[in-house]
Amino acid sequence: MAVQSKPVPISPWGKATAGAAGAVLANALVYPLDLIKTKLQVQVKTSQPADGEAKADEETHYSSTWDAVTKIASAEGVSGLYAGMSGALLGVASTNFAYFYWYSAVRNAYDKYRGAGHKSSTFEELALGAVAGALAQLFTIPVAVITTRQQTQTKADRKGFFETGREVVNGEDGVCGLWRGLKASLVLVVNPSITYGAYERLKTILFPNKKNLSPWEAFALGAMSKALATIVTQPLIVAKVGLQSKPPPARQGKPFKSFIEVMQFIIENEGPLSLFKGIGPQILKGLLVQGILMMTKERVELMFILFIRYLQVMRSKRIARAEKMVAAAKQIAPITAK
């Protein structure tokens, strides 16, 4: 029996698995950049050298990405650059699984609503990404809160994932502390929205007739789209990290209540440009992660398609064999009856 070659749709679960696998691989490869950009974003520059010297033993200041790499490696060894990685990868896997699942589910539902042949506009792409991002954040932000807290702990204070989670819950906000920064996170859904909206739009413009991009084409599109999204949303990223980490010494243990309050504190103490602190490693990490993620996601999705086609072929062969057996049985039956 000849098997017709038909397009194989990938379910939301398949897309979610592909996205999560790509994200975990990409973030594992560049994790030190993630750690460093977090440390750069939570540190507060001091304009009083005397106070800075007095606090030198308590808090290390990093002047650049390379300065952070050398100081962390010197104080804690290379392993210090991977502190909190297990929790971070768990967060990456859960966030991306949830995002790609909801994006695919929402996109499928929207396409059915608009009908076959409808081409989504840039605004529609951004809106679909924002809805998917908001749904994903509601379920996964506790992991992000715990990971951020782990990344900003000193070596002496560093705790495991669950211990850090208990510390957050035992804090001023109780269980709600696990959802600190939710408003900022919901606003930040524009980041993946811009990223994936730009990715789909660039893919349509640059490769209009290609269903499967080459690894390097996917890498380039992913990197370009993420760089654009990062530049636009960096102040919100810095504010979100400030909300989820321990308050700076100047706050005397008083946590921030909103991302607007974090931004005001940063502007008053460090100036407006500090809303973009850590943007160097943030963009570099984003370029590498998004490029590797989309490159890997495209390959994993292709593997799903091939696997599903293999199952279809095997099913067709089994049906053909069953039909032959039934036909043979029908031919033998009259002879036996005689």
Number of domains in the chain: 1
Whichever domain contains 296, its CATH number is 1.50.40.10
pLDDT at residue 53, rounded to an integer: 44
Residue 115 within a domain? yes
Rounded Cα distance, 34 and 30, in Å: 7
Q: Is residue 200 part of a domain?
A: yes
C-alpha–C-alpha distance, residues 53 and 235, integer Å: 28
Q: 271 lies in a domain?
A: yes
- Residue 35: partners with Cβ closer than 8 Å, 6 or more residues away: 72, 81, 82, 83, 84, 85, 151
Query: CA 105 → CA 20, 109, 136, 296, 306, distances in Å?
Result: 15, 6, 12, 21, 21
Would residue 7 count as lying in a domain?
Answer: no
For residue 4, the 8-state DSSP code is P
CA distances from 86 to 83, 92, 151 (A): 8, 10, 11
Alpha helices in the chain (DSSP H): 12-29, 31-42, 49-54, 65-76, 85-114, 122-151, 161-169, 182-187, 190-206, 215-244, 259-270, 279-337
Range of the domain at 287: 12-337
Q: How far is it, in rounded angstroms, from Cα 36 to Cα 85?
A: 12
Distance CA 179, CA 181 (A): 6
Q: Tokens at residue 275, please?
A: 């809303």
Is residue 5 a part of any domain in this protein? no
HSE toward the beta carbon, residue 265, CA cutoff 13 A = 25
| 8-state DSSP, 48 | -
Per-residue model confidence (pLDDT) at position 56: 41
Q: What is the pLDDT of residue 298?
A: 67
117 by DSSP, 3-state: which?
coil
User: What Cα–Cα distance (Å) separates residue 142 from each residue in 24, 60, 217?
Assistant: 18, 27, 34
Please tell me the distance from the alpha carbon of residue 76 to that of residue 158, in angstroms, as a whole number. 12
Whether residue 4 is contained in a domain is answered as no
| Residue 127: inside a domain | yes
Res 47: pLDDT? 53
What are the tokens at 81?
């650059």
pTM of the model: 0.59
193, two tokens: 């929205």
Residue type, 238: V
Q: Which of 184, 168, 172, 176 is nearest to 41 (CA)?
A: 184
DSSP 8-state secondary structure symbol assigned to residue 253: T
pLDDT of residue 52: 45
Long-range CB pairs of 241-245, under 8 A, 24+ apart, other chains included? 241/38, 241/41, 241/42, 241/148, 242/41, 242/42, 242/266, 243/180, 243/181, 243/184, 244/144, 244/145, 244/148, 244/149, 244/180, 244/181, 245/38, 245/42, 245/148, 245/149, 245/152
Query: One digit per residue, pLDDT tens: the chain, 338 residues?
Result: 444 445 555 667 777 777 777 778 878 888 888 888 888 888 876 555 444 444 444 567 888 888 888 998 888 888 888 888 888 888 888 887 888 788 888 888 888 888 767 777 767 777 887 788 888 888 888 888 888 888 887 777 778 888 888 888 888 778 888 888 788 778 777 776 777 778 888 888 888 877 777 877 877 887 788 888 888 888 888 888 888 787 887 787 788 888 888 899 989 888 888 888 888 888 888 777 766 766 676 666 666 666 666 667 777 778 888 877 777 777 765 655 55
6, part of any domain: no
